[in-house]
Structures are given as structure tokens and as C-alpha cells.
Amino acid sequence: MSSSSDESAARLPIIEYALQPAILVAVMWFWLSDPTNPLVYPLVLAAVHVLLGGIEYWRPARPDWLQPAREKVLNVVLVVILTIGVGIVAGWYDAVLREPLANLRSTLNLDVWPHEWPLLAQVFLVFFASEFIWYWVHRAEHRWALVWRVSGHGAHHSFKKLGALNFGLNHPLEFFFLVAPSALVELLFGVGIAAAGATILGVVQASIAHSNIRLNSRVIGWLFTTNEYHIHHHSVVLEESNTNYGCSAIVWDRLFGTFEPGVTLETGTGPTEPTLWQKTLMPFREPEDTAIAP
Ligand SMILES: [Zn+2]
């Protein structure tokens, strides 16, 4: 009885239907107003997380997932440090791959990027192309034990409570896997500034996909991942975690037969959440109670 009244208390249709599309429109509009400004990325990230964090606190979809202040502060600090790490890996890929991939582009006659398209259309093209590669990378992480271990992907799955900040709580080894798809698309096709917009779109989408807010998936969920789909991927039940590999775009799961909507009762790698140290060691030592490792 009390759980159903809790549920009805958390419902607010305007947020359920409009929050995700409104954030995406606002973020893209803001980026388009000054696409070459590097400050847009941190500003958008901070603003989106203040908004999502506020709504999670105000109307959490699962009140039992609300974190104590200390845990929340630790997660904010971790996400800031780890996001800087992702930026360093992205810079390293750029330095190492830009020239060889530009040479490959001219050798293979791949100078086909539609630079004449409106910028927003190019952003969506990079976004869905990068998500196509990420779909297969992510599927490989869940398919083969070696890839699971080397990427440290288990660390990202090990949380028993999810919130928007979980988008950035990844093992440092996984940075190389997370950044590779967009770096490949950007540098192989010589995309240009649209790649920055696609990165922002992807990170905002991944943040919403982890959020502890009741959202409706009906319309936006045809193309974009919603938290209903992504939290299902975080399920502690193996069959459920082997679905919905697209963390930002869900369309590839729909096309390749891995899409599954549904209620998720429990997340994590097993019945207990590993400590931060155990998460860090996951590429070398899997927790004994893991239920979803390949
Ligand atoms: Zn996963």
C-alpha cells in the first residue's frame, strides 16, 4: 500500500514527458549559439547535473536510491576527476590518430563527410554513427570475459543505487573504450566542429539515461535511450543486463534485436556493491558474488 502511494506521489507528467526532450533541445540550442567555444562542454555538463540532481532529490523515482550527502560529494569529486581523465584520453587519441586516419581517409577515398549539411544534422550523423560503433564495443564487453576485464566495465555496473552522476563513474581503463567510437568517426571522416556537438549530446544523453527520475519512454524512446532502458541494462539479472547496449541511442538495439523495455528490480554486479578499491581492482579480480560477468 505504502509503495503505491509513494509511486503516485512521485508522478509528474510534465517531467515524465517533457524533461528529456526539453534538455536535449536546450543543450543543442546553447551549443549552436557558440559551437567553437570549449567552455560550452563543462558549462552544459554542470548545468544539466545541477538540474537532474535537483529533480532526483525533489522527486526521486526510487527514494531508496537517494545517496547520503557524503556519498554524493564523493561521487561528484570522482566524476570531476574521471571526466578530466576522459579528456586526457581524448586528447591522446587525437594526437596519435589524427594524421594516420587522415592518410587512411585519402587512401580509401573517404572524403565523403557532408560538411554542407546544417550543423545540427551533422551532429546527429556523428552521434548515431559513434553510437553504432559503441553498441558493438559495449556488446563485446558483455560477450567476452577478456574484453569485460580489460575494459573494467564491471566497475560501472557494480552500483546498487543509480543516479545521473553514474554516467561518469567508469573505470579509467574504460576511457579508452568509451572515447574510441567518436574519435574514430571524427578523425576518419574529418568531421570538424560537429563532433563537439555530438560529444555534448552523447554525454547529456548518458546522464539522463542513469538518472533516478521517472521518465516516459514512449516517443523519445524510439531513437534515444531513456533511463527505463538503460537501468534495465544495469540489472543484476544476467538476461536483462544483456540488453539495451546503446547508452545514448537505443535505435541500434532495436535494429539488432537486443532492445528490451521493462521494470528493473535490482541493479549491480551481484547482491552486494564492491568497495571503491574492489571496483578499481575489477580488471584483475572479479567480485565472488558477480552474477552478470561473461
Ligand atoms: Zn554494460
pLDDT tens-digit map of 124-167 = 999 999 999 999 999 999 999 999 999 999 999 999 999 999 99
Query: How many angstroms does the Cα of residue 160 sit away from the middle of ligand 1?
Result: 14
Report the C-alpha gap between 97 and 129 in whole angstroms.
18
Query: How many angstroms does the Cα of residue 42 sit away from the middle of ligand 1?
Result: 25
Report the C-alpha gap between 173 and 150 in whole angstroms.
7
- Under 8 Å between Cβ of 294 and 269: no
Q: Tens digit of pLDDT for each residue in 177-218?
A: 999 999 999 999 999 999 999 999 999 999 999 999 999 988
What percent of the chain is predicted at pLDDT more than 70?
97
Predicted pLDDT at 217? 87
Q: Which long-range contacts (CB under 8 A, 24 or more apart) does 5-14 make?
A: 6/63, 10/59, 10/60, 10/61, 10/63, 10/214, 11/214, 12/59, 12/214, 13/216
Predicted pLDDT at 7? 52
Query: How many angstroms does the Cα of residue 74 sit away from the middle of ligand 1?
Result: 22
Query: How many angstroms does the Cα of residue 138 sit away from the middle of ligand 1?
Result: 6
The phi and psi torsions of 272 (rounded to 5 degrees) equal: -120, 155
Collect all residues with Cβ–Cβ distance below 8 Å to 53 and sequence separation of at least 6: 72, 163, 164, 165
